[in-house]
Amino acid sequence: MTTPSAAPRFFYVDVFARHPLSGNPLVVVPDADELPVPQMQAIAREFNQSETTFIVEPDLEGADWQLRSFTPIGAEVGGAGHNALGACLWLAQTRLPRDRERFVQQIGADLIPVLIDRRDDGVVVSMDQAPPKFGDVVRDRSELAASLGIGVGDLAPEDAVVVDTGAGHLLAPLRSSEVVDRVQPDPARLSAVLRDVDGEGCYVYSLESGREVAAYARFFNPTMGIAEDPATGTAAGPLAARLVADGVVPDGSTVVIEQGHATGRPSFLSISVAGDLVRLSGGGLVVADGTLHL
């Protein structure tokens, strides 16, 4: 890490994007060791993105860097999702040695392996998530449907279940992509549903066939102050693990999930699942930079 200046720099990274101004936008603030947590939270409120990620020195042995990410309401998030992947993309393009592929990042108390793949068309970052853990199932399907602003008949026959590969999200299968597009959550009711099953956010999705993607999804996290997230790595990993566990795709598969159309930010998330190994991969672009005058 370099010595931070009196005026910290920031960078906008479009994560899981195939071209600028798509994917999930992330603000990355490097060299943030001298910023106290309340100031990090205030900066996250200022940028008002799903997450703002700060790169600081690690305090666990074996880590190359540490990440701290906050939502607009000041909640700190963990897991290896778009916040971590975007920070790794920025590091790969600006600071990491080009003759090395493998690194370790610290997020909270976790050490997460990172693989940097430099290709002719850009950098792809891959990160291992935690082994999947399957949690509670929603029992009141009528209340789930009402909390999403749809009818009970719009729910797919399969259960809505919490799955965790670093963050526990409720995976709610719907009958079609048209239903996914119609979802209009009631934040208070959805928050109550999530509390009942100990879920952080809700990933609604439909299974797709005959296309490059396995599922079409949207993500809502009222418990963390996120109305809708354009691309959610910490939910895509659990969904890919569920599709393997349910036999929808074979073990050892790479699953592509499409998200973000409702927010005007098309995103494509790639997840490989082999046994307990869940690996999230994606690219992106640095699209803007600036200076914080604090």
Active site residues: 51
Which residue type sits at 135? Answer: G
Residues in contact with 99: Cβ distance below 8 Å, sequence separation at least 6, in sequence order: none
Among candidate residues 192, 146, 142, the one with its CA nearest the CA of residue 170: 192
Residues in contact with 63: Cβ distance below 8 Å, sequence separation at least 6, in sequence order: 104, 105, 106, 111
Q: Name the token pair of 200.
A: 């952080």
Among candidate residues 168, 166, 162, the one with its CA nearest the CA of residue 144: 162
CB 201 within 8 A of CB 172: no
CB 96 within 8 A of CB 103: yes
Instruction: Specify the 3-state DSSP secondary structure of 20.
Output: coil
Q: 189 to each of 108, 192, 204, how far by Cα in Å?
A: 30, 5, 15
